[in-house]
Amino acid sequence: MSVSSQPQTKLDSPELERWFITRLARSLKLETDQIDLHEPLLRYGLDSVESVRISADLEIWLGFQLDRLILEFPDAVSFLSFVSEEISRRGERT
C-alpha cells in the first residue's frame, strides 16, 4: 500500500489506521506489522521533527489542518481517536 498525498473524499477508521501505520512504519524504517498502535509512540524512537512531517502529510491527505501534534498523545490509538473526532466534527469526511 502506498501512502498517497491526495486528499480523501471518504474515510473510515480502518483506512485512517492503515494510512497512519504505513506512514509511521516508513518513517521509522519498520515493517507495518511491527507497529502496535497501543504502544507509546516514543518507544519507536519517533522524534518531534519526524512527527511534524507525518502530521503534515496527514493534513494533506485529510484536506485540513489538525490543532494538535502526534507527540501530544501517549499512543497512536489516542491520536487516531482525536483525528477521527476532528473528521466528524468538521463534517468533511464520513
> Domain holding 33: CATH number?
1.10.1200.10
Q: Which helix (H) or strand (E) holds 91?
A: none
- Residue 26 domain-assigned (yes or no): yes
- Residue 20 domain-assigned (yes or no): yes
How many domains would you assign to the chain? 1
CB under 8 Å to 10, separation ≥6 — which residues? 93, 94
**CA dihedral of residues 10, 16, 22, 23 (deg, nearest 10):** 90
Query: Over 50: is that where the pLDDT of 34 sits?
Result: yes
pTM greater than the 0.75 cutoff: yes
pLDDT band with cut points at 50, 70 and 90 for residue 43: very high
- Residue 27 domain-assigned (yes or no): yes
> Interhelix angle for 13-28 vs 48-62, to 10°?
140
- Residue 8 domain-assigned (yes or no): no
Which grid coordinates are listed for 27? 518513517
Q: Which amino acid makes up residue 15?
A: E
